[in-house]
Structure 1
């Protein structure tokens, strides 16, 4: 998993509450177990017209936000079904951070396992960040995970809280497999001892 230390990028405002995982990645895109290629389906029902053409009114289709790395969203982001394809689609599109006042628990944890940083802020802080994100190509936010700080385009900053273990995993690029591999020497030692003690096994 790619490390997350500091991220600077355009933030797209999505002032919608209860954005569920079906909106993030519709069920038609769940036929694959590959983590790549799902970016085209991100917010598909809002991004595309019925004929497949881009909807110019959707925020991520607007020129200033087509390369957004951050989404500033309304309350309860990621609710609905527990599909892991939702963070896969966000990451494949290029989104590395989502900021909201709250997240659905399963989606929140899935983000950390896939290299996306979900940040919880207060409503007042979200209102400020939403205003920052409304500045088009000037809507650049900097997320510093080490100092747990968001810096806006005007230089103002917001501190955020995060679980220490999740922060450690993100800073070091450790998903579940990476955490297991950190114990590889201990696992190898156990296997050797076990083989000696039970040679018939």
Structure 2
């Protein structure tokens, strides 16, 4: 998992509440057994004017010029901002995989669905919770200048923007530590690799029949 310390980027504004995981990554793409390659299908129904499947090259499809991710001024943003209850709906972890594969390192919203929120931390995408009025202020700043750079400083727990915008956010200390160190659940387990090896060697000696 990629470590997260400070990310500076322009912001892509998705001015919608209750964005569910089916909108983030549509059901027909869940057939893939890989955790990569979902970026081109992020927000598929909103992003393209015709339907798609895993067998159709996204480059051959007509894009919706009205959708925010297709607008030139919002290309290459690493921060997404949205409204309340982002990531609601089904528990599919693919939603976070798609955000990550597209290039988003963080999402800012007033609230999230619980399972989506947890899945973000497992995959290195930081879900920042800010007050509604603070989210409003960021939307206004992006509307005034789409190229404005914002910084999300995880160690300081701050979102910083143009003209002195500064908002503090809260985060569970254990989750914060793992994000900064780039540790997912597997990485955290591997921190104890030597102890695990020692235990396995001991068990092999005590009960060799288990390993035959």
TM-score by length of 2: 0.91
Unmatched runs of 5 consecutive residues or more in structure 1: none
**Runs ≥4 residues deviating over 6 A:** none
Q: Matched residues in 2 for 1:200 and 1:32: separation? A: 39
1:154 positional shift: 2.0
Given that 1:138 and 1:153 are in contact with CA atoms closer than 8 Å, whether structure 2 keeps it comes out as: no
Deviates more, 1:153-162 or 1:70-79: 153-162
> 187, 199, 212: which is aligned to 1:190?
199
2:135 equivalent in structure 1? 126
1:14 positional shift: 1.0
How many residues align structurally?
201
Unmatched runs of 5 consecutive residues or more in structure 2: 52-60
Check if 1:49 corresponds to 2:49. yes
Given that 1:65 and 1:136 are in contact with CA atoms closer than 8 Å, whether structure 2 keeps it comes out as: no
SS at match of 1:133: helix
Q: Matched residues in 2 for 1:109 and 1:41: separation? A: 22
Q: Matched residues in 2 for 1:121 and 1:168: separation? A: 20
TM-score by length of 1: 0.96
1:122 positional shift: 0.7
Deviates more, 1:187-196 or 1:139-148: 187-196
Q: CA RMSD in A?
A: 1.3
1:187 positional shift: 0.7
- The C-alpha deviation readout for 1:139-182, integer Å capped at 9, x for no partner, is 32100000000001223211100001110110000011101100
